[in-house]
Amino acid sequence: MTFQPPATHAAVSTAGVELHYGATPVLKGIDISLSKGKTLALLGPSGCGKTTLLRLVAGLLAPTKGSISIVGQVVADAAANTFSPPEKRNLGMVFQDYALWPHLTVGGNVSFPLEMRGLGKAERQSRTMRALERVGLGAYADRRPSDLSGGQQQRVAIARAIVAEPQLILFDEPLSNLDRELRENMVGELAELIATLGLTAIYVTHDHAEALTLADDVAVMRDGLIEQLASPDQLIEKPATPEVADFLRLGGIADLDHRDGLWVFKGSDVALLRSEGDAGASARVLIPVGSISVSDVGPGRLAATVLRSQFRGDGHLATVSLVGPTHMELQVLSRVKLRPGDGVGLSIDPDQIRWFSPRVHSSQKESLQHA
Ligand SMILES: Nc1ncnc2c1ncn2[C@@H]1O[C@H](COP(=O)(O)OP(=O)(O)OP(=O)(O)O)[C@@H](O)[C@H]1O
């Protein structure tokens, strides 16, 4: 007899989920599947529907269409009129504003979900201390939340979310109230905590760096739809659309026309590449930051003017405007400091340019510098 592995279920899945407010569709058909022990980030600009999707998974909203399952159990199905409330979904939640009760001690806040479940005092105390120790706050149980820093308060909120060992944790922009330095430290800390505790998590953010750091998979959302769902590496390597590339700030997006054996920036005579056989075509491309090298103005290089520049830790990240094409800005990394108004020459590696449409084989193209 051959061994049959037990059927495995996604930790969370949604099928054709739509949410309408009156006649206005906010989510327009969402399909996600998240495996146990993985973190999914919902990333996108304000108003794209990230929080709405999280609230649907939490059971704070019911879908207008479609269904949601958690560990194989259908928790909402619009067609079958099925709906489990949040307390039946075995979830932990961490919000932007921490949502700690000021009148309770840190320990009282963390043990609250256990009280709701009717656990005895001794069990509550030992679980609360274990959760606080896991987030590095074992010594703070008797303090008030107001005595703690923002980062510590957020760790209390995380301890409260994990204390009942839920099957899924939902994070809604948990770091956005912290100042930049603390946020950057907390991202790494949170990623480590999620990995060490083996949590399954959905993490809402509008910060691409946070999503790419924390998540195993990232759903880039736009206007109520998932534009691309992929691992951070895949997103960076192969953004599906110009909008995804732009949102992840992977480089400059350019519209090109093919004329006389050259790909030129639309509306200009400035050529990016030589390429035969695409007569009359037009294309939209991503010019990644890493594909551009900066030097002095010179033959075979694109002329550009520096608009602004900022030190980034490993060099100066400058925004430059190409001379010729209107409104074509690119970001470049320079070892030397560039000043606004400086003229620079850019060389672009043609093999690193990503073509959204039409797909042009890279061997057909040649950098002008080498022409
Ligand atoms: N109760 C409501 N009634 C009507 N429209 C709503 C309601 N709640 C949210 N919306 C609309 O739904 C859309 C998605 O909102 P949602 O909060 O999910 O976006 P988001 O991507 O999380 O944005 P943000 O990052 O700003 O929180 C927005 O256009 C919002 O105005």
Share above pLDDT 70 across residues of the chain, in percent, rounded to a whole number: 94
Ligand 1 atom with the shortest distance to the CA of 55: 18
pLDDT value, residue 5: 43
- For 9-61, the pLDDT digits (tens) are 789 999 999 999 999 999 999 999 999 999 999 999 999 999 999 999 999 99
How many Cβ atoms sit within 10 Å of the Cβ of residue 295? 11
Q: Domain spans of the chain?
A: 12-245, 250-370
Residue 7: strand, helix, or coil:
coil
Ligand 1 atom with the shortest distance to the CA of 22: 4
Tokens representing residue 262 in the block: 């050259």
- Burial class of residue 250 in the structure, from the number of CB atoms within 10 Å of its CB (0-12 exposed, 13-18 middle, 19+ buried): buried
Residue 65 sits at the vertex; the CA angle it makes with 229 and 91, to the nearest 5 degrees, is 65
Lowest mean pLDDT among 114-123, 209-218, 356-365: 356-365
Residue 10 near residue 74 (C-beta atoms within 8 A): no
pLDDT (average), residues 242-256? 93
Query: Which residue's alpha carbon is at the smallest distance from atom 29 of ligand 1?
Result: 47
Closest residue by Cα to residue 135 from 173, 86, 181, 169: 169
H helix or E strand, kind and range, residue 199: none
Query: Is the minimum distance from the CB of 46 to ligand 1 under 6 angstroms?
Result: yes
pTM: 0.85
Higher pLDDT: 167 or 111? It is 111
Tokens representing residue 208 in the block: 């691409």
Report the amino acid identity of residue 213: T
Q: CA 272, 277, 279, 284 torsion: positive or negative? A: negative
Residue with tokens 């004329």: 259
pLDDT value, residue 368: 54
- Burial class of residue 81 in the structure, from the number of CB atoms within 10 Å of its CB (0-12 exposed, 13-18 middle, 19+ buried): exposed
Query: Is the minimum distance from the CB of 206 to ligand 1 under 6 angstroms?
Result: yes
pLDDT value, residue 171: 93
| Distance of CA 174 from the midpoint of ligand 1 (Å) | 17
pLDDT value, residue 187: 86
Query: Which residue's alpha carbon is at the smallest distance from atom 12 of ligand 1?
Result: 26
Length of the chain: 371
**pLDDT > 60? residue 358:** no
- For 94-123, the pLDDT digits (tens) are 887 778 888 999 999 999 888 888 888 899
Please choose from 30, 52, 54 the residue to mutate so as to test ligand 1's pocket, defined by most ligand atoms within 8 A of CB: 52
Q: How confident is the model at residue 367 (pLDDT cuts 50, 70, 90)?
A: low
Query: Which residue's alpha carbon is at the smallest distance from atom 25 of ligand 1?
Result: 46
User: What gap in Å lies between CA 122 and CA 118, rounded to an integer?
Assistant: 12
The angle that helices 180-197 and 150-162 make with each other, rounded to 10 degrees, is: 20
**pLDDT > 70? residue 135:** yes
Closest residue by Cα to residue 68 from 88, 48, 46: 88
pLDDT value, residue 302: 93
Q: How confident is the model at residue 365 (pLDDT cuts 50, 70, 90)?
A: low
Higher pLDDT: 234 or 99? It is 234
Query: Is the minimum distance from the CB of 44 to ligand 1 under 6 angstroms?
Result: yes
Residue 98 near residue 157 (C-beta atoms within 8 A): yes
pLDDT value, residue 363: 41
User: What gap in Å lies between CA 303 and CA 311, rounded to an integer?
Assistant: 22
pLDDT value, residue 184: 81
**pLDDT > 60? residue 181:** yes
The CATH T-level fold of domain 12-245 is: Rossmann fold (3.40.50)
Give 96's contacts (C-beta < 8 A, 6+ positions apart): 172, 173, 174, 176, 177
pLDDT (average), residues 167-185? 84
pLDDT (average), residues 251-270? 91
Give 70's contacts (C-beta < 8 A, 6+ positions apart): 11, 12, 57, 89, 90, 91, 167, 168
Strands (E), 266-338: 271-275, 282-288, 292-295, 302-311, 316-322, 329-334
Q: Mean pLDDT of all residues in the chain? A: 88
Q: CA 97, 103, 107, 111 torsion: positive or negative? A: negative
Query: Is the minimum distance from the CB of 205 to ligand 1 under 6 angstroms?
Result: no
Query: Is the minimum distance from the CB of 196 to ligand 1 under 6 angstroms?
Result: no
Higher pLDDT: 75 or 189? It is 75
Is omega for the bond preceding 358 within 30 degrees of 0, making it cis? yes
Query: Is the minimum distance from the CB of 242 to ligand 1 under 6 angstroms?
Result: no
pLDDT (average), residues 275-292? 87
Report the amino acid identity of residue 201: A
Residue 334 near residue 367 (C-beta atoms within 8 A): no
pLDDT value, residue 210: 92
